[in-house]
Amino acid sequence: MSASTLTLRRRGVLPGFGPSFGYTLFYVGLIVLLPLTALVLQASSLGLGDVLRMVTEERALLAFRLSFGAAFVAALINVPFGLLLAWVLVRYEFPGRRLVDSLVDLPFALPTAVAGISLTSLYAETGPIGAVLAKLGMKVAYTPIGIVVALVFIGIPFVVRTVEPVLADLERDVEEAAAVLGATRLQTFRRVILPALVPATLTGFALAFSRALGEYGSVVFISGNMPGATEIVPLLIVTKLEQYEYAEATAIASVMLFAAFAILFGVNVLQRWTGRAER
């Protein structure tokens, strides 16, 4: 090994630990910790009794139930469909595969308001899909079902992109060995493939759930925004702010903040589990 290589390794390509760590602390403190600290301090100034009273009002409880319930159902729906889509993209070659693969990331790039307007125009009773469903006696737009549809749309890339690399790394020799030993396709999937995909699938579920929990733009159009029926928590917070009810908005936002921290902790645990499973 040459002296120049040793010098390069010693120096490093990027600046030293001090400047890099200082920039990291500056970024995290200014962009992340400062707004969150302000929210926590504002909520703590209200008093625990006031916060509990504000977040347990009937309108707030209904919004919490709808947001958490719809996010959970949407994430649950995304698991099998995300697994299937990831399987097709990894295991098969077909015309237009790259186009389908790029379309998976469309919810990331598409403005959420555009997604909401598009879904509303499709699933409204005058839309091409909504009109057919209306004849069958099923209404999607301006109902909780429409909220779930929007959350499925914005959440499925998380499951696909989390499962896809794990599925691509699976050795097919194990599947072939299971087939030689007489295992059926279902047994091979259930006993060989699925256990390796469980950690990544749970991580994708948690990410899709957390993304859906805070979604606003794509839901606000298709939900109809009816208090007590189709009003989600982010919309309730915006409504409180528009009505200058800052204390109520802060209390409700603090609940969502603690829920986000709990989900973040769960995702980190799942990612560590995934890393151990891969090793």
Enumerate the domain spans of the chain: 16-45, 48-278
Do the Cβ atoms of 150 and 222 come closer than 8 Å? yes
- pLDDT over 80 (residue 22): no
- pLDDT over 50 (residue 125): yes
- pLDDT over 50 (residue 6): no
- The lowest-confidence range among 157-171, 211-225, 257-271 is 257-271
Domain 48-278 indexed as CATH 1.10.3720.10? yes
Mean pLDDT of 152-169: 91
Q: Which stretch, 1-10, 117-126, 241-250, has highest mean pLDDT? A: 117-126
pLDDT top residue among 199 and 147: 147
Do the Cβ atoms of 218 and 115 come closer than 8 Å? yes
- pLDDT over 70 (residue 274): no
Total Cβ atoms within 10 A of residue 53 = 14
- Length reported for the chain: 279
pLDDT tens for 27-58 read: 777 777 777 677 667 766 677 777 788 888 99
Across all residues in the chain, what is the average pLDDT? 83
Q: What pLDDT score does 67 carry? A: 93
pTM assigned to the model: 0.82
Mean pLDDT of 115-137: 89
- 72 to 29, 34, 252: CA distances (angstroms): 31, 30, 19
pLDDT band at 8 (very low <50, low <70, confident <90, very high): very low
> What is the Cα–Cα distance from 252 to 67, expressed in whole angstroms?
12
Q: What pLDDT score does 137 carry? A: 86
pLDDT tens for 79-124 read: 999 999 999 998 888 898 889 888 998 888 888 888 889 999 999 8
pLDDT band at 65 (very low <50, low <70, confident <90, very high): very high
Residue 88, judged by CB atoms within 10 A of its CB (0-12, 13-18, 19+), counts as: middle
Do the Cβ atoms of 70 and 151 come closer than 8 Å? yes
